[in-house]
Amino acid sequence: MKSGKYFVLSALLVAALAAGYFLYDSWSRESRIVKRISEASCFINSACTRFGIDSRLMASVVYGELFSNLNVLDEFDRIRAEYGFDPSVGFGQMRVSTFIWLEECSADGKNIFRSRDKKELVKKISNDSINIIYSACYIALIKNRLSKEWDKEPDIRQIGSYYSLGIDHGCRKPNPEFVTPVGLAAEEFYNSDKLLSVYPRSTGTK
């Protein structure tokens, strides 16, 4: 009988410790992400001005992407990309194939430049300032495409959801009801008070 009680108590203790670790890990991860986005404000604001998008929109989408998908394997993303894999790389966590698509479709010699080869591309997108420019361009393209498809401005959740899914593969028609954890996290960040003094809300975005 005693052994049974000890087993139950041990199981409860392990569960409590696991729950505590999960909560601490989530809080710690979120704190690091918010700090990183805050420190990149000058790059984000500059990139958003270039492409005519709300800087809080971009901060929210990147927050959603990092919060939903950041893990220990991200430390090896650049190595994996150099060996031919298609991981999400750098600040905006877009796939290498998406960066290649951006250069093929949107290179203008001013903001987006074609790379000589994949090695040069991986080196470029591993730099936060360049990665942010490409990510801002992609968000602007997503926003414009969804606006044209639906004849109205997409909201934060929709833009974040299609940022995580991607618009650079296939010709599927965007669905206004489609939602991902990235879109939900982006919406939560946008409507929160997080970094509100750094990235104020725009009256034209919701």
pLDDT at 14 over 50: no
| DSSP state for residue 170 in the 8-state scheme | S
pLDDT at 34 over 70: yes
At 64, the pLDDT band (50, 70, 90 cuts) reads very high
What tokens does 91 get? 């600040």
Q: How many CB atoms lie within 10 A of CB 20?
A: 10
CA atoms of 41 and 56, how far apart (whole Å)? 10
pLDDT for 205 equals 60
pLDDT for 174 equals 93
pLDDT at 25 over 60: no
Dihedral angle, C-alpha 183, 63, 190, 100, nearest 10 °: -60
Is residue 133 within 8 A of residue 183, CB to CB? The reply is no
pLDDT for 170 equals 63
Q: Kindly report the pTM of this predicted structure.
A: 0.84
CA atoms of 77 and 64, how far apart (whole Å)? 19
Dihedral angle, C-alpha 188, 192, 198, 201, nearest 10 °: 80
Residues 6+ away with beta carbon under 8 Å from 106: 112, 137, 141
Beta bridge partners of 88: 95
Q: What is the pLDDT of residues 121-177, one digit of tens each?
A: 999 999 999 999 999 999 999 999 999 999 999 999 999 999 999 998 766 789 999
Max intra-chain CA distance, the chain: 76
Q: H-type helices in 52-191, by residue range?
A: 55-69, 77-82, 96-106, 118-125, 128-150, 156-165, 181-191
Residue with the bigger pLDDT between 49 and 204: it is: 49
Residues 6+ away with beta carbon under 8 Å from 101: 168
Residue with the bigger pLDDT between 78 and 95: it is: 95
What tokens does 194 get? 């997080």
| Three-state secondary-structure class, residue 143 | helix
Q: Which range is least confidently modeled, 14-23, 27-36, 69-78, 181-190? A: 14-23
Q: Judge residue 53's burial from the number of C-beta atoms within 10 Å of its C-beta, 0-12 exposed, 13-18 middle, 19 or more buried.
A: buried
Average pLDDT of the chain to the nearest whole number = 86
Domain coordinates in residue numbering, the chain: 40-191
pLDDT at 13 over 50: no
